[in-house]
A and B are shown apart, each in its own frame.
Chain A
Amino acid sequence: MARTFLPLDAFVGSGSGYHLLPFRFLRFDGDRELLVNEVGEYLFAPAGTVAGVVGRKIQFGSPLYSSLKAKQFIYDSSSSPNLDLLATKYRTKHEFLDGGTKLHIFVVTLRCDHSCHYCQVSRQTANRNEYDMSIATADRSLDLMMDTPGTDITLELQGGEATLAFDLVQYIVDHAKRLACDRGKNLSVVLTTNLANIADEQLAYLKQESVKVSTSLDGPAFIHNANRPRPGNNSHELAVQNIERCRQTLGTEQVAALMTTTQLSLAHPKEIIDEYVARSFHSIFLRPISPYGFAVRTRRRTGYEMNAFLKFYKTGLDHILEINRQGYHLVEVYTKILLTKILTPYGTGFVDLQSPAGAGWNVLVYNYDGDVYISDESRMLAEMNDFTFRLGNVHQHSRRDLFGGDAFLEAQQTSCNQSLPGCSDCAFQTYCGSDPIFNHATQGDSFGFRPTSAFCHRNMSVLKHLFRMIAENDPDTMRIFWSWLTDRSVSDLGTELPA
């Protein structure tokens, strides 16, 4: 049966004026502006566009008018504000808020056999059992973890070196699985370990319980061993050898590695990345050092200015893209996180780049002594006698106490970049986050001061760098980016890419 459509003028609007929808912008370079709407959709436009938009100077029916309307920067009589669509997009972008805290980190012991210069953890020598979590503390922490409203939760067991308290690891995993079954939770378990002492029976247990392994690999031996001293100076040898053992026992996908960039690393981005390729990893996270713990005390040896890290990151990203062009799938994790926010409707579960801040909302840390913190970084501050972000203790406080107490509420006041000075107007707000703990640690208050903030400098610089690449629209680069976003090889993508 033939269908009848309304006449054309019912769809094209009358040209009698348009209205604005919420957006932010920045002068991208001399002749372009970057406009970003409330849900992270962006538009490059000629300089002066925003003034034209606000002054109602954009010509009805022009390509620019159509782009502004299609991307929901403006609406007119033929297009309602389409709030339902925008609301759906907004909710999708903020899906990480659903279900409460997802990542629960248990510090099972402070004991460690390494003495890493940058360690966030207040390590203790390996034979001091008073720094292990007690069974009573583990039980109470698990109860609190299970009280989280969502169904999908991740239990991360870390130290110190968690394998030094493996009997406790086993107790917590076994108990957590029973509780998760009773409470209807989907539980994932991750063991963070340097792998130096992992035993066959420990690996067998991890396989039996489907526990994933997260370890450290800072690069080739001369960097890794310098960053991560241990008796015998063989941290790298043990790490690469035991990564292979883990893969053989647990499966390749069950083993992940993280690197930390120290002063020594800065001159060697390519060597570090090549080491990840040589060890058959398909992702690498170019991470700056955190301003906490031993990294503060060893700042002269390990620290650097953010500009030096940004140079390292950009050189590294170029090298990673070149490796991808040669046919090896290698993802830079931070870039992928940001590209997900820029190029797709989705947000990410990455807690360091969320608003409201992931600390507390999406991660809680249960220390060996029962104290609860909103992040691992805030626990490290406490080890430096700064208890600003300590929520309470598992033996004294309920979940309601922890989340209703002054420490949590005060952190929340500064956890939304939508309301922070400098962030509230920023075009990159949707892609970025807030980090009250970083602000507190580096600038003395949790609001932070954006003009001198290393957090802001890093993210503004990286985002501008990525947007430049997006604007250049090099087909090879964009195909690589989309291969990262879709977890497919470049060859599987074909030639058509999303607009």
Chain B
Amino acid sequence: MSSSEASLTLSLDSRQFSREAALKAAYWFTKDLYLDFPPSATEHLFEVVLRAKCPTPTLDNPAPKTVDELASEYRNALIDSELRIQVQRETSGVRELLLAKAFAEAGVLESSPPGSFSDPVLAVGESNRTSDLVVIGGLIEHNLDTPK
């Protein structure tokens, strides 16, 4: 981590935090910060530059958070963001199947989904046999082993 008065650079290990998680966490901080994601020349490392929008007190914001404080909050948010991405990655197939079933059974799809609702739902790591492909509503055409 390096910092100047109103900006700070975080170096993150992409094996620990994905750029997607860093970007998603950044969204909520764009109210108070300018965030840059400069290109990285180092494998497994990328940088996030945080620069305060309002580093000096004003009448509207008499006690603005410092960049250090915001960076600490950002790092906590990054942990949550990474967890959310992991949950989404593991459950996106099941989620799509759930929605397909919910709306197909409600009779609101324009055409009947191929396959059967009794098709097996495979969890991550259970099988990689092509015969276990799940094809419901045309939404899931990949084995659930394979990250999307």
Q: In the bound complex, do residue A450 and residue B28 qualify as a contact, i.e. CB atoms below 8 Å apart?
A: yes
Q: In the bound complex, do residue A98 and residue B27 qualify as a contact, i.e. CB atoms below 8 Å apart?
A: no
- B15-48 contacts to A, CB under 8 A, are 24, 27-31
Decide if B142 is an interface residue (CB 8 Å cutoff). Answer: no
- Given contacts A84-B101, A90-B102, A452-B31, whether A98 and B91 have CB atoms under 8 Å apart is no
Q: Which of A23, A80, A91 lies in contact with B87, CB distance below 8 A?
A: A23
Decide if A451 is an interface residue (CB 8 Å cutoff). Answer: yes
Q: In the bound complex, do residue A20 and residue B91 qualify as a contact, i.e. CB atoms below 8 Å apart?
A: yes
Q: In the bound complex, do residue A451 and residue B108 qualify as a contact, i.e. CB atoms below 8 Å apart?
A: no
Q: Which of A80, A98, A451 lies in contact with B106, CB distance below 8 A?
A: A98
Tell me, rounded to whole Å, the shortest Cβ–Cβ distance linking A361 to chain B: 12
Contacts from A to B (Cβ < 8 Å) = 19-27, 38, 50-51, 54, 75, 80-81, 83-84, 86-88, 90-91, 94, 97-98, 421-422, 425, 450-452
Q: In the bound complex, do residue A54 and residue B83 qualify as a contact, i.e. CB atoms below 8 Å apart?
A: yes
Decide if B143 is an interface residue (CB 8 Å cutoff). Answer: no
Q: In the bound complex, do residue B94 and residue A81 qualify as a contact, i.e. CB atoms below 8 Å apart?
A: yes
Q: In the bound complex, do residue A451 and residue B28 qualify as a contact, i.e. CB atoms below 8 Å apart?
A: yes
Decide if B99 is an interface residue (CB 8 Å cutoff). Answer: yes
Q: In the bound complex, do residue A87 and residue B101 qualify as a contact, i.e. CB atoms below 8 Å apart?
A: yes
Q: A23-B87, A25-B80 are in contact. List 6 more A-B contacts (CB 8 A).
A: A19-B90, A20-B90, A26-B80, A81-B123, A425-B84, A451-B27
Q: In the bound complex, do residue B108 and residue A98 qualify as a contact, i.e. CB atoms below 8 Å apart?
A: yes
Tell me, rounded to whole Å, the shortest Cβ–Cβ distance linking B15 to chain A: 15
Q: Please, how many angstroms separate the alpha-carbon atoms of A107 and B105 in the complex? A: 37
Q: In the bound complex, do residue A20 and residue B102 qualify as a contact, i.e. CB atoms below 8 Å apart?
A: no
Q: Which of B31, B84, B105 lies in contact with A91, CB distance below 8 A?
A: B105
Question: Could you say which residues of chain A place their CB within 8 Å of the CB of B31?
Answer: 451-452
Question: Could you say which residues of chain B place their CB within 8 Å of the CB of A425?
Answer: 24, 81, 84
- Given contacts A19-B123, A24-B84, A54-B86, whether A90 and B98 have CB atoms under 8 Å apart is yes
- Given contacts A54-B86, A425-B81, whether A84 and B108 have CB atoms under 8 Å apart is no
Q: Please, how many angstroms separate the alpha-carbon atoms of A23 and B90 in the complex? A: 11
- Given contacts A87-B101, A452-B31, whether A97 and B94 have CB atoms under 8 Å apart is no
Q: Which of A50, A81, A421, A422 lies in contact with B83, CB distance below 8 A?
A: A50
